[in-house]
């Protein structure tokens, strides 16, 4: 098990959740149960999926949770764009969008690192197995 609170990507994702919550409090009342909820839900989903993945025992499970987190972050990018284009989110769009994109990049890099480490370990196991069969 890994401590998700030590991951830089989780810290950024958690800050994004806090910023989304703060920014959406000014949304019009008619958006409280639609766009505002969607933005809050998927931003929290990013941080929650990172945390969940860290509680898993296998790297492949962590990788899957991080992939889900990345999907939620990309979904949030769309909601930010929609809120901007609807004129609901004027101030703060650039900052929130940049934060979201940074989280996507960090997740992509972490997923790649895990995949590379996992592949390297599997190659090592195959090599050891083939050597033992040949001996």
Res 27: pLDDT = 86
The H-or-E segment that residue 101 falls in is helix 93-134
Q: What is the pLDDT of residues 70-90, one digit of tens each?
A: 999 999 999 999 999 999 988
The domain ranges of the chain are 4-134
Higher-confidence position of 91 and 15: 15
Q: Lowest mean pLDDT: which of 2-6, 23-27, 117-121?
A: 117-121
Say if CB 73 and CB 99 are below 8 A apart: no
Percent of the chain with pLDDT over 70: 89
The first and second tokens of residue 40, run together, are 């809050």
4-134 CATH choice from 3.40.50.720, 1.20.1440.60, 3.40.640.10, 1.20.1250.30: 1.20.1440.60
pLDDT of residue 22: 94
Tens digit of each residue's pLDDT (9 = 90 or more) over 41-72: 999 999 999 999 999 988 899 999 999 999 99
Kindly report, residue by residue over 28-37, the tens digit of the pLDDT: 887 767 899 9
Write down the pLDDT at residue 124. 64
pLDDT digits (tens, 9 = 90+) for 120-129: 877 666 554 3
CA atoms within 13 A on the CB side of 82: 13
pLDDT the model gives residue 32: 66
- Given a cut of 50, whether residue 132 has pLDDT beyond it is no
- How far out from the chain centre does Cα 97 lie? 14
């Amino acid at each position: 098990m890994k401590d998700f609170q030590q991951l830089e990507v989780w810290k950024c994702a958690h800050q994004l959740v806090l910023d989304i919550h703060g920014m959406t409090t000014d949304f019009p009342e008619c958006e409280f149960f639609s766009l505002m909820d969607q933005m809050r839900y998927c931003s929290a989903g990013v941080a929650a999926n990172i945390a969940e993945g860290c509680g898993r025992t296998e790297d492949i499970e962590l990788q899957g949770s991080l992939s889900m987190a990345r999907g939620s972050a990309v979904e949030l990018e769309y909601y930010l764009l929609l809120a901007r284009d609807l004129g609901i989110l004027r101030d703060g769009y650039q900052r929130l969008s940049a934060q979201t994109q940074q989280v996507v990049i960090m997740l992509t890099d972490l997923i790649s690192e895990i995949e590379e480490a996992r592949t390297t370990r599997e190659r090592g196991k195959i090599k050891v197995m083939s050597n033992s069969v040949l001996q």
